[in-house]
Amino acid sequence: MAETRRKPGPRRALTEREIVDAALALLDAGGAEAASIRRIAAAVGVAPNAVYTYFPDKAAVERALVERILEDVQAPAEGDWRPAVEALAIGLRSRLVAHPGAVPLMLGGPMDGPHALRLGELLLDLLAASGLDAASAARASYTLMVYVLGAAALEVADGPPGPLPPEAERIAARHAALGEVPAQAFPRTAAATGVMATWVGTEQFLWGLRRVLDGLEAAAK
């Protein structure tokens, strides 16, 4: 009997959003290295070549991941500039802490997609409303982004790839580790361990952010 050859089934329908969703899940589970084209393809049930139909290389996927992280970051549409800048910074930090694998992507590549440009324009608008001239607003925007991204990078650096433990657990772990510092050799460090343990938390982030905003507010007067 002649072998009956099966007809190929319908091609798997796929969208860019599905690919980025799968990449984000891999990123969250194992960091940037886990979101390879091969693993993304396996996650959505297609061959790697199908992913290349939408994204020419892994760098393009990473840029799309950065945009996905930024798309939900907002600031109040009305009100004073300072609370709005604070809300924007807190929102960006929250997204980065929720997706720690995205931090090296933002530090290591251009943030030039539509959502990145939207946030940059929004931040410049808010800083202009503070009374800063255009050049000073541009410098202030850079300073704020350095602070937010730098703080997030140091915060997530304490943990292995994957989701971060709850903030209270991370602070407790740091407190226990800092408790091993010999007080006789490093008396100031030993005395400050209670505060230093909170460096990976919201309290420290807000303390630093508000000091930066204090300086910008004074410069605008």
Count CB-CB contacts under 10 A for residue 36.
16
In a domain, 90, yes or no: yes
In a domain, 2, yes or no: no
In a domain, 161, yes or no: yes
pLDDT at 77: 80
Long-range contacts (CB closer than 8 Å, 24 or more residues apart) made by 118-126: 118/70, 119/70, 119/73, 119/88, 119/92, 122/75, 122/88, 123/85, 123/88, 126/75, 126/81, 126/84, 126/85, 126/88
* Domains contained in the chain, number: 1
What pTM was estimated for this model as a whole? 0.89
Q: Which of 78, 62, 77, 71 is nearest to 92 (CA)?
A: 71
Q: What is the pLDDT along the chain (221 residues), one digit of tens a residue?
A: 444 444 444 455 789 999 999 999 999 999 888 999 999 999 999 999 999 999 999 999 999 999 999 999 988 888 899 999 999 999 999 999 999 999 999 998 888 999 999 999 999 999 999 999 999 999 999 999 999 999 999 999 877 778 899 999 999 999 999 999 999 999 999 999 999 999 999 999 999 999 999 999 999 88
pLDDT at 152: 95
In a domain, 1, yes or no: no
| Cβ pair 63, 109 in contact under 8 A | yes
pLDDT at 205: 97
| Cβ pair 59, 36 in contact under 8 A | no
Cα end-to-end span (Å), the chain: 91
φ and ψ at residue 107, rounded to 5 degrees: -80, -25
Supply the CATH number for residue 183's domain.
1.10.357.10
In a domain, 5, yes or no: no
pLDDT at 14: 87
In a domain, 50, yes or no: yes
| Cβ pair 95, 72 in contact under 8 A | yes
Count CB-CB contacts under 10 A for residue 106.
22
In a domain, 9, yes or no: no
In a domain, 211, yes or no: yes
pLDDT at 12: 57
Range of the domain at 150: 16-220
| Cβ pair 67, 113 in contact under 8 A | yes
